[in-house]
């Protein structure tokens, strides 16, 4: 594992860190398998609050900007190239279910789900694309996507920063600790979302039975 992580750690502790963070954050909105969160955590391990080795605040700014631009690109694809976007980003039965789920989220939670979906693997792509296809107002989308992108970038970079502080002499352990913490947060968000959806479904069933 150490040999596999060596190139990642080398890039994270170099001037290329900024380009990697921005590019991965942008592409992850379009291609969900791109490891944007892992790259931010890895770079955060070597980050400092001052200086440029790399600089923590610059990492957050570039990661947030890349995420915001990526989300808006997917929104634009959903709005103006819906058949192409659906075929290439949400294809197959799994993609169809993801879109239906995203439509339900937007209907039930509005802009808040745009923020929450950034912390759900694959959710950010489905929600951004669906928001475009259903003509969700772009000014509102841009606003919520900005909150989502920059809060996510801060959270991922700070997880890496925390790991770097906790394991100063072992960058690999620091990265793995950050990834484990990110996984735990994602799991909590998903559990919370499922509980909220279950409660809403029960409330609707109760209303329907009382009519």
Convert the pLDDT of each residue in 118-165 to its tens digit.
887 778 888 898 888 888 889 999 999 999 999 999 988 888 888 876
DSSP, collapsed to helix, strand or coil, labels residue 118 as coil
Q: Which residues pair with 48 in a beta bridge?
A: 55
Region 81-110: what's the mean pLDDT? 70
**CA 171, CA 166: separation in Å to the nearest integer?**
10
Model confidence at 60, pLDDT cuts 50, 70, 90, reads: very high
The pLDDT score that the predictor gives to residue 118 is: 87
Q: How many CA atoms lie within 13 A of 85 on its CB side?
A: 22
Model confidence at 1, pLDDT cuts 50, 70, 90, reads: very low
The pLDDT score that the predictor gives to residue 141 is: 94
pTM of this structure? 0.77
**CA 190, CA 196: separation in Å to the nearest integer?**
10
Which pLDDT tens digit goes with each residue over 67-79?
999 999 999 988 8
């Amino acid at each position: 594992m150490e040999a596999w992580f060596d190139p990642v750690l080398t890039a994270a502790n170099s001037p290329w860190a900024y380009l990697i963070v921005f590019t991965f954050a942008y592409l992850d909105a379009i291609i969900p398998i791109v490891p944007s969160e892992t790259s931010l955590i890895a770079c955060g391990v070597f980050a400092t609050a001052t200086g440029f080795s790399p600089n923590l605040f610059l990492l957050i700014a570039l990661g947030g900007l890349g995420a915001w631009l990526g989300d808006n690109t997917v929104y634009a694809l959903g709005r103006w190239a819906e058949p192409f976007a659906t075929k290439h980003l949400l294809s197959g039965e799994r993609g169809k279910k993801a879109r239906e789920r995203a439509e339900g989220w937007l209907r039930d939670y509005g802009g808040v789900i745009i923020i929450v979906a950034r912390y759900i693997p694959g959710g950010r792509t489905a929600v951004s694309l669906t928001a475009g296809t259903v003509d969700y107002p772009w000014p509102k989308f841009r606003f919520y996507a900005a909150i989502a992108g920059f809060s996510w970038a801060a959270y991922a970079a700070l997880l890496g920063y925390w790991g770097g502080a906790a394991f100063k002499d072992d960058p690999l352990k620091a990265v793995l600790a950050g990834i484990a913490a990110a996984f735990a947060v994602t799991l909590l968000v998903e559990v919370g979302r499922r509980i909220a959806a279950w409660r809403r479904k029960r409330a609707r069933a109760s209303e329907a039975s009382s009519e």
